[in-house]
Structure 1
């Protein structure tokens, strides 16, 4: 009741109601009858109009619906974004870009570290991960400005705080020591200019992610973007 139908009766015709709920006048009348039967509203007739007011039960029901919707929206906004993929060999772009002072200086200032010279490349295969990768640009990020040097112009980079961990199939690796598998703090990059498509994710960290996590090409990993 956006017009305030908790403490006062609101005058409305079934025609007006039908336009509000975008249904026929007959359907609107039936909705009002059903709500009254369920003791969610009170109605009084005044010529061709009705006065409608929420009952206490109706107001409590409305509050419950509001809280459920609010919780759902809050959970949706705070939900972490998950990617699963396989480590693959890159084209060597990462090592070159990580060596440029125009980027390194901003990484030091905004990320708090100078990245290892190179990116870990993770190939996504499942379709829903590809869609999430495409939508990543709409998520909050740390923005690294583009710059120019004597030779060319370099585009912006968006950095997303994330974690990475190796994915294991416990059933096929019963003898593996899973206690030694550690989740590493990293950043996922989104570049304005790149030769890669949406199936590839580039990851950086202060050290070689492969070495400190004992990873190799072909290993499956889980990347979690932290909102």
Structure 2
């Protein structure tokens, strides 16, 4: 599945969670990289929500949390046909359902020059 969405600034909480050792260790073990501390928030059209929710509901890739943290489901994905990473689905989130959070080992905004309002593609 390949979709497009608009980049939006989040609340900054992704950097805290991605810097937690148990999350980063699990991502390294399962995806082969330690995520840059933060997520790229991509807002997608409502037309994709049924498929995305089905993928999320059936996803078997789960990081079990340490005490006080929530579980995270994830699926491997590629941003703009060039950056391998993953879309994460935190059990605890404040985002609307049409926000996807993409992680990679690089600082995406800095290294790719991505800004709020840019349209990016995600393939998973």
Contact kept in structure 2, 1:84 and 1:129, CA below 8 Å: no
Deviations 1:162-221, CA, capped at 9 Å, x for gaps: 1111xxxxxxxxxxxxxxxx5211100011111112110000001112222221111001
Contact kept in structure 1, 2:24 and 2:35, CA below 8 Å: yes
Aligned to 2:103: 204
Q: Which has the higher helix share?
A: 1
Q: Which has the higher strand share?
A: 2
In structure 2, how many angstroms separate the alpha carbons of the residues matched to 1:135 and 1:83? 15
Aligned to 1:218: 117
Higher RCO (CA-CA < 8 Å; seq separation 6+): 2
Match of 2:22 among 81, 94, 102: 102
In structure 2, how many angstroms separate the alpha carbons of the residues matched to 1:139 and 1:129? 16
Contact kept in structure 1, 2:40 and 2:101, CA below 8 Å: yes
Larger Rg: 1
Contact kept in structure 2, 1:133 and 1:198, CA below 8 Å: no
In structure 2, how many angstroms separate the alpha carbons of the residues matched to 1:211 and 1:139? 33
In structure 1, how many angstroms separate the alpha carbons of the residues matched to 2:121 and 2:60? 19
Aligned residues: 124
Give how far 1:99 is off.
1.3
> What is the alpha-carbon root mean square deviation over aligned residues?
1.5
Gaps of 5+ in 1: 1-80, 166-181
Aligned to 2:79: 164
Give how far 1:139 is off.
4.1
> What pairs with 1:169-180 in structure 2 (closer than 5 Å)?
none
Give how far 1:140 is off.
4.1
Gaps of 5+ in 2: none
TM-score of the superposition, structure 1-length normalised?
0.51
Give how far 1:146 is off.
1.4
TM-score of the superposition, structure 2-length normalised?
0.90
